[in-house]
Amino acid sequence: MTRALFIVDVQNDFTERGALGVVGGDQVAERVTRFLAEHAGDYRIVVASRDWHDGDNDNGGHFASGEPDFIDTWPVHCVAGTFGAEYDEGFDTSTVTHHLKKGQGRPAYSLFEGMTDDGVTAGHLLEQYGIIDIDIAGLATDYCVRASALDAIEHGRRVRVFTDLVAGVHPDSSERALAEIAHAGAVLLDSRA
């Protein structure tokens, strides 16, 4: 078995009640949980990432000092140890084998920019477990899912994105992100297919 599931940033601050809530975020959490209940055994590893930002600085300009531009600067979100940084309560993490934290003082979008509490990166996990194929789900389609999928392709892996297990900030930018991911070589499909 050489397949991994990457679950990107299914956190309170990215679901409906959060600082950067995405419409459909809670639904993604619940759908991912249902998918894992049926398919976790199909994967060698199940990796979940979280934004995990410092609360006492601007995280390398990631947190806006004034009005955020929602491109490079953002409202304060996913501060380490807060409710916003925790996984959405609809996301059952019991089958997740590896948890990565990303950010930690700097901007970070891709799951590949994160690491476990022991300092293990996604790239190291791919090598350690001989992962060739990666399926991707999570939030948000047009930012962290996009960055994670493109990085997985850059790491030479075969990538599938489950379009029913993602939600984006904006429909237009999410559509563009999925088109870009597909153009880079990923397969877009429904997890129920």
What is the pLDDT, as a whole number, of residue 100?
Answer: 98
- In CATH terms, the superfamily for domain 3-189 is Isochorismatase-like (3.40.50.850)
Query: What tens digit of pLDDT does each residue of 147-162 get?
Result: 999 999 999 999 999 9
Q: 103 is written with which tokens? A: 């950010």
Q: Which positions are annotated as active-site residues? A: 9, 102, 144
Q: What percent of the chain has pLDDT over 70?
A: 100
3-state SS, one letter per residue, for 37-61: HHHHHHCCEEEEEEEEECCCCCCCC
| Range of 52-61, 68-77, 131-140 with top mean pLDDT | 131-140
What is the pLDDT, as a whole number, of residue 51?
Answer: 97
What is the pLDDT, as a whole number, of residue 1?
Answer: 78
Mean pLDDT of 77-102: 97
Q: Tokens 């996604």 appear where?
A: 122
Q: What percent of the chain has pLDDT over 90?
A: 94
pLDDT at 125 over 90: yes
pLDDT at 114 over 90: yes
pLDDT at 193 over 90: no
What is the pLDDT, as a whole number, of residue 14?
Answer: 97
Mean pLDDT of 71-96: 95
What is the pLDDT, as a whole number, of residue 59?
Answer: 92
Calpha distance 80→82 (Å, rounded) = 6
What is the pLDDT, as a whole number, of residue 166?
Answer: 98
Q: Tokens 């300092």 appear where?
A: 119
What Rg do the C-alpha atoms of the chain give, in angstroms?
15
What is the pLDDT, as a whole number, of residue 108?
Answer: 93
What is the pLDDT, as a whole number, of residue 68?
Answer: 92
What is the pLDDT, as a whole number, of residue 62?
Answer: 93
What is the pLDDT, as a whole number, of residue 71?
Answer: 85
Mean pLDDT of the chain, nearest integer:
96
| Sheet with strand 45-52: strands edge to edge | 98-103, 45-52, 3-8, 133-139, 158-167, 187-189
What is the pLDDT, as a whole number, of residue 184?
Answer: 98
pTM, full prediction? 0.96
- Following DSSP, what letter does each residue of the chain receive, concatenated? --EEEEEE--BGGGSTTSTT--TTHHHHHHHHHHHHHHHGGG-SEEEEEEEEB-SSS-TTTTB-SSS--SSS-B-S--BTTSGGGSBPTT---TT--EEEEEESSS---SGGG-B-TT--BHHHHHHHHT--EEEEEEE-IIIIIHHHHHHHHHTT-EEEEEEEEEE-S-HHHHHHHHHHHHHTTPEEE-TT-
Question: What are the domain boundaries of the chain?
Answer: 3-189
